[in-house]
Structure 1
Amino acid sequence: MTTIADAIAALETGELIHLPTETVYGLGARADAPAAVAKVFEAKGRPKFNPLIVHVASLEAAELIGIFDDRARALARAFWPGPLTLVVPVRDTAKVCDLARAGLDSVAIRVPAHPVALAILQGFGGGVVAPSANRSGRPSPTRFQDAVSETGPSVAASVDGGDCQVGLESTVVSVLNDVRYLRPGAITRAQIEAIAGALAEDASEGHRSPGRLSLHYAPDAPVEINIDNPPMDCVYLAFGDTDFTGPVLNLSPTRDLSEAAANLFTCLRKADALKPARICVAPIPADGLGEAINDRLKRAAGFVG
């Protein structure tokens, strides 16, 4: 474990860090240096056409990187710091290199709501790309030890910020010609619509968001979802009470969606560590935060979405 000062120094020299946020642990690199960003792709094995989210300390810092219209600014003021990423036209390509943007004319930006992350970002002073600190396709780390286990050998500084409170990657909203809900997260579609009005369909801009590959967030064991009667050869991720007599990990005994979101990746990891023939997951309601949970589960199960 290292300090905030160590993390800032590592970023300044183009090395990788573990960046704790309220969503998941990030694998951080300075956004303006292609060589540093390339280390992220190397550590994750991540496809280079997948854009990365740039983390900054404030809306003012974000506006140096991207072009914010009144809609984007209203969303930022409503939900930043917090688990919302905004995709906007890029303003300064020198501050976010082409590799980080996957060659696009847009940039994905977020201000995280975690005191350690904000202290690092404020101390560094520039944008930091920070995709989840897992190897590509693996469940995202929501605990410090999981981040270290996944990508520890690749980083120069790992800062322990405790367990992530949200436990899901950020909601991604595109604010270009239209406002589009590209990736579900803790900020729900209804919350975005309350600020921005009716949303356009996302089909034409999904490539601008991280986490949109069909198979993503996947453990080694095959995942089956919406299972009410699990077979005995599985580890069962329950949601509420269950009569299953095999190995059970409960996402939320009280059927609380926030608790289920926070536990999702940890439970997937624990289930996978048991080397089961398969991992079965109970049905999760699709309303509110359930949309994001189901999105991650569909990707873990290999469904296109």
Structure 2
Amino acid sequence: MHTVILHPDPAGIARAASLLAAGEAVALPTETVYGLAADARNGAAVARIYAAKGRPAFNPLIVHVADVAAAQAIAVLEGDALALAAAFWPGPLTLVLPLRPGSGIAGIVTAGLDTVGVRVPAHPVAQAVLAAFGGPLAAPSANASGRISPTTAAHVLDPEGGLAGRIAAVIDGGACPVGVESTILGWRDGRAALLRPGGIPAEAIEAALGAALVRGGDLDAPDAPGQLSSHYAPRAPLRLNAARAEPGETFIGFGPAGAGGLTLSASGDLTEAAARLFNLLRAADRLGRPIAVARVPETGLGRAINDRLRRAAAPREG
């Protein structure tokens, strides 16, 4: 793939919006760092983010929206969360909120959770792309997994740890003014909790709330992904690397669907499998039977799929 460099002018913004509508991934500047954006309602598009980054696990992604109204369309935003949105949006604050039923957000974005991280970026280029695209964009940092977050378009395209040749385009909007990721807040027993320090100081948030944030050791079950081995577990027991279903099991295949009709990808495509994973696990869980999942290759996105499945199959904690 040839990665196109777009200018932050009307033609470049329109081209970026067109690529995003076609299900491609596009890097764009925000005030924090460059993000790798894809349509948050399109699971296959979001799977391309993971493929491009080489991300080893399906972590929940932050959804970027144009304004508070757009946030309320996908998440339940009220009380202290609404007050913080009024105080700090647009800006480098992400709020982890209950996912609104019927939001249309792809399951791969939330990693199967019932919450979603949302923020309204302040960068004029990000705002222009959101306006032209007309929908929510999932956008983690635009770098290979484990590498330094990019604050310029050149960083995004860096031969060492960059994404040149892996994504459709990058909009060169200059250097990011904040240069560190957004502050992430969740809620614990009705109290705002600091899940990740970032571009807005915790002290400023506490001043706006008139209350201290829950921090550090008080976070016994953090929203940050990968903290618990069974963090992603469905209610039903899960058996991995299954050749077929045993009596009483629901089978999720990889390849042509069996008698139950559930398959991650009939053609054995790992990008399609990643996009369908969370929705299929939920569908199987609703049937109320133990779940057996076919072997998925441990290559490319298969590593992330298998990481998720191993966590789902882990013994329950507590």
Range class of TM-score, shorter chain: 0.5 to 0.7
How many Å separate the matches in 1 of 2:109 and 2:143? 17
State the structure with more CA Rg. 2
Amino acid at match of 1:122: A
Task: Give the alignment's Cα RMSD to 1 decimal.
Answer: 1.8
3-state SS in 1 of match to 2:55:
coil
Are 1:152 and 1:158, in contact at CA under 8 Å, matched by a contact in 2? no
Provide the residue aligned with 2:276 in structure 1: none
Provide the residue aligned with 1:8 in structure 2: 17
Provide the residue aligned with 2:183 in structure 1: 171
Unaligned runs of 5+ in 2: 7-11, 229-318
3-state SS in 2 of match to 1:153:
coil
- Correspondence list, 1:144-223, <5 A: 144-149=153-158, 150-175=162-187, 177-196=190-209, 197-201=211-215, 203-206=219-222, 208-209=223-224
From the superposition, tell whether residues 95 and 79 of structure 1 become closer, same or farther in structure 2 (CA, over 3 Å).
same
From the superposition, tell whether residues 164 and 64 of structure 1 become closer, same or farther in structure 2 (CA, over 3 Å).
same
User: Does residue 1:24 correspond to 2:38, yes or no?
Assistant: no
Amino acid at match of 2:125: V
Residue 50 of structure 1: which of 59, 62, 77 is its match?
A: 59
3-state SS in 2 of match to 1:37:
helix
How many Å separate the matches in 2 of 1:211 and 1:111? 25
Provide the residue aligned with 1:66 in structure 2: 75
- Correspondence list, 1:1-305, <5 A: 1-2=5-6, 3-92=12-101, 94-149=103-158, 150-175=162-187, 177-196=190-209, 197-201=211-215, 203-206=219-222, 208-209=223-224
From the superposition, tell whether residues 18 and 211 of structure 1 become closer, same or farther in structure 2 (CA, over 3 Å).
farther
Provide the residue aligned with 1:288 in structure 2: none
Q: In the TM superposition, what whole-angstrom CA distance separates every residue of 1:28-73 from its partner, at most 9, and x where no partner exists?
A: 1000111011111111121333110000010110000100111001
Amino acid at match of 1:48: A
From the superposition, tell whether residues 19 and 129 of structure 1 become closer, same or farther in structure 2 (CA, over 3 Å).
same
- Percentage of matched positions with identical amino acids: 50
3-state SS in 2 of match to 1:152:
coil
Once the two structures are TM-superposed, the CA of residue 192 in structure 1 deviates from its matched residue by 1.1
3-state SS in 1 of match to 2:58:
coil
3-state SS in 1 of match to 2:59:
coil
Amino acid at match of 1:192: I
How many Å separate the matches in 2 of 1:191 and 1:210? 25
How many Å separate the matches in 1 of 2:163 and 2:225? 19
Once the two structures are TM-superposed, the CA of residue 123 in structure 1 deviates from its matched residue by 1.2
Once the two structures are TM-superposed, the CA of residue 17 in structure 1 deviates from its matched residue by 0.1
Amino acid at match of 2:14: A
From the superposition, tell whether residues 63 and 179 of structure 1 become closer, same or farther in structure 2 (CA, over 3 Å).
same
Amino acid at match of 1:157: A
Once the two structures are TM-superposed, the CA of residue 6 in structure 1 deviates from its matched residue by 0.9
Are 1:6 and 1:157, in contact at CA under 8 Å, matched by a contact in 2? no
How many residues are paired up? 212
Are 2:75 and 2:103, in contact at CA under 8 Å, matched by a contact in 1? no
Q: In the TM superposition, what whole-angstrom CA distance separates every residue of 1:98-128 from its partner, at most 9, and x where no partner exists?
A: 1110111100001111000000001111110
Amino acid at match of 2:179: G
Provide the residue aligned with 1:236 in structure 2: none
Once the two structures are TM-superposed, the CA of residue 19 in structure 1 deviates from its matched residue by 1.4
Which of structure 1's runs of 4+ aligned residues deviate more than 3 A?
Answer: 209-213
Amino acid at match of 2:195: L
Q: In the TM superposition, what whole-angstrom CA distance separates every residue of 1:175-230 from its partner, at most 9, and x where no partner exists?
A: 46321010001211111111222222452343x247989xxxxxxxxxxxxxxxxx
